[in-house]
Amino acid sequence: MSAFGLVASPPDTSQSGENRYLEVKRELHDRLMACIDLKVLRTLDEDQLRQEFRRGAEELCRKQPDLLNQAERKRLIDDLVDETLGCGPIEPLLRDPTVSDILINGPTKIFVERFGRIEETGLRFHSEQHLVQVLQRMVSRVGRRIDESSPMVDARLSDGSRINAVIRPLALDGALVSIRRRAGKALTPEGLVANQALSSEMLCLLAAAVRGRLNIIVSGGTGGGKTTLLNAISSFVPDHERIVTIEDAAELCLQQPHVARMESRPPNIEGSGQVTTRDLLRNALRMRPDRIIIGECRGDETLDMLQAMNTGQDGSMTTLHANSASDVIARLHLLVGLSGIPLPAAQIDRQIAAGVQMVVHVARLAGGERRVMQLAEIDFQPGVGLIVRDIFRFLPEGRDPAGRLLGRTVATGGGEATIARLKARGIALPEPLIKLLTNARTPSVKRIPV
């Protein structure tokens, strides 16, 4: 039984070129939707729905043989199915493996990021209403809603992509949508070195730090590659260990056999049912974890994370928004303050020094490249206070004629505390790496007074 009862009535084709195509698509889409038999559609699964809509679109186009050429008809049929069941004009972008981010500023401005650079696509929605309809369809599939009474949404789509959207009345010039695509295949540590995101010496030290169960914070700005790096270095965790991961939107792709994944949940429309990262972290401590990995510390869960790092969950990792390795300390103080527990600054410093041994700072540079800019150790010296000491630093040196980034990674004289910690845990660094660290110039140190 067909879900469509179609009659031929030619649409207005007075326009030419792309405008004519868009007008034809709008009219045929409206006609397709008007002919739907809802009783039949309710009996079909998603694959059957797509097949039924494709048959309906083909029938409409067949009844207008002079409307468009063969290539345009094929494109039109695909577009009509995407408009009705998919994500409209951005459906091809969601299938494009080179697209890392989709950024929508109203119905006529659709941008993508490819290989670290943002470019306009030329695609557009029919109208503001069309954009909101597609957005509502996308988030409803994962149990969320967005409308005038609830004009913001942050969710993980079924393919693992993360979507954030704001609509009117909060978005003044039309709906704002950001979709962070989930990478099809996570970059390996060796792949990061091949892409020059970090040096082989940095990677060697990071691998030893993970195996030696040092607690690590990956810091950086939005889009700097924090999660990508965290995912890559987590591959050095031994397979026999139990890892608990906690994220706002699941992005980590750990390959170990014993991984317990959890995801926080926002409140429902009535304002209840919220499960925060802090709730999950407190529960995770009862799940006998060897390590805890938090996708990002951004609130009151930071104090609980530091306490976990201080009480048996060695080798834990998280990411943090900060402008440099030394700025991580100020950021941790701020986030600990959100816990509502009044702690002296000196006490927070001691918690940080005892709980965090290494900071890896990443950044996205002006040309779109993502680099590990600093690898630093954290130490505490009585009478001096908290110390952030660089071990490696990337020094940009301009660009070549083709626009490629030039630069070098240098050892800065730090690493003494890290070498001692790893030695105490039975982890031996390669002799050339030890010589590189110990023969380097005077260390770059940032002292944080008590």
CATH number at residue 155: 3.30.450.370
Looking at the structure, tell me whether residues 260 and 220 fall in a common domain: yes
What distances in angstroms separate CA 265 from CA 88, 155, 164, 242, 280, one per listed residue? Answer: 28, 9, 15, 23, 10
Residue 13 identity: T
- Please, are residues 370 and 362 in contact by the beta-carbon 8 Å criterion? yes
Provide DSSP, 21-44. Answer: HHHHHHHHHHHHHHTB-HHHHTT-
Domain endpoint, select from 121, 150, 180:
180
- Please, are residues 161 and 94 in contact by the beta-carbon 8 Å criterion? yes
Looking at the structure, tell me whether residues 262 and 380 fall in a common domain: yes
Domain endpoint, select from 63, 85, 107:
85
Tokens of 34: 């008007």
- Compute φ and ψ for 247, nearest 5 degrees: -140, 155
Looking at the structure, tell me whether residues 66 and 105 fall in a common domain: no
Where residue 65 falls among pLDDT bands split at 50, 70, 90? low
Per residue in 381-397, pLDDT tens? 887 889 999 999 999 99
Per residue in 294-312, pLDDT tens? 999 999 999 999 999 988 8
Residue 445: name the closest of 398, 386, 397 by CA: 386
Looking at the structure, tell me whether residues 125 and 212 fall in a common domain: no
Domain endpoint, select from 125, 145, 180:
180
Asked whether residue 3 is domain-assigned, the answer is no
Mean pLDDT rounded to a whole number for the chain: 86
Looking at the structure, tell me whether residues 116 and 218 fall in a common domain: no
What distances in angstroms separate CA 87 from CA 19, 103, 131, 136, 251, one per listed residue? Answer: 20, 14, 9, 10, 21
Distance between the two ends of the chain, CA-based, in angstroms? 77
Looking at the structure, tell me whether residues 128 and 246 fall in a common domain: no
pLDDT(265) > 60: yes
- Contacts with 445 (C-beta within 8 Å, 6 or more apart), sequence order: 387, 388, 389, 390, 414
> Residue 297's pLDDT is what?
94
Average pLDDT over residues 24-35: 68
> Residue 78's pLDDT is what?
77
| Structural domain of 159 | 90-180
Torsion sign across C-alpha atoms 221, 225, 228, 231: negative
Looking at the structure, tell me whether residues 144 and 240 fall in a common domain: no
Looking at the structure, tell me whether residues 322 and 419 fall in a common domain: yes
Measured CA to CA, the distance from residue 413 to residue 330 in angstroms comes to: 24
Count CB neighbours of 236 within 10 A.
16
Asked whether residue 10 is domain-assigned, the answer is no
The residue among 62 and 36 whose pLDDT is bigger is 62
Query: Would you call 101 exposed, middle or buried from its count of C-beta atoms within 10 A (0-12, 13-18, 19+)?
Result: middle
**For helices 327-337 and 345-355, angle between their N-to-C axes, nearest 10 degrees:** 120
pLDDT(42) > 60: no
> Residue 157's pLDDT is what?
87
Asked whether residue 5 is domain-assigned, the answer is no
- The structural domain count of the chain equals 3
The residue among 424 and 17 whose pLDDT is bigger is 424
Looking at the structure, tell me whether residues 151 and 275 fall in a common domain: no
pLDDT(173) > 80: yes
Residue 22: name the closest of 71, 89, 69 by CA: 89
Tokens of 124: 């557009």
Asked whether residue 12 is domain-assigned, the answer is no
Looking at the structure, tell me whether residues 172 and 293 fall in a common domain: no
Looking at the structure, tell me whether residues 213 and 107 fall in a common domain: no
Element holding 130 (H helix, E strand): helix 128-140
Query: Which span out of 48-62, 267-281, 421-435 was modeled with the highest average pLDDT?
Result: 421-435
Torsion sign across C-alpha atoms 43, 47, 53, 56: negative
Measured CA to CA, the distance from residue 150 to residue 166 in angstroms comes to: 9
Looking at the structure, tell me whether residues 35 and 140 fall in a common domain: no
> Residue 13's pLDDT is what?
44
pLDDT(282) > 90: yes
Residue 220: name the closest of 374, 115, 349 by CA: 374
Query: Which residues are 413's β-sheet partners?
Result: none
| Poorest-pLDDT segment among 3-7, 191-195, 221-225, 443-447 | 3-7
Asked whether residue 366 is domain-assigned, the answer is yes
pLDDT(243) > 80: yes
Asked whether residue 323 is domain-assigned, the answer is yes
Tokens of 389: 């000491």
pLDDT(48) > 60: yes
Measured CA to CA, the distance from residue 22 to residue 130 in angstroms comes to: 13
**Residue 363, helix vs strand vs coil:** strand
Asked whether residue 304 is domain-assigned, the answer is yes
High-pLDDT (> 90) share of the chain, %: 55
Asked whether residue 362 is domain-assigned, the answer is yes
- Please, are residues 258 and 240 in contact by the beta-carbon 8 Å criterion? yes
Per residue in 309-361, pLDDT tens? 988 889 999 999 999 999 999 999 999 999 888 899 989 999 999 999 999 99
- Compute φ and ψ for 16, nearest 5 degrees: -130, 165
High-pLDDT (> 70) share of the chain, %: 85
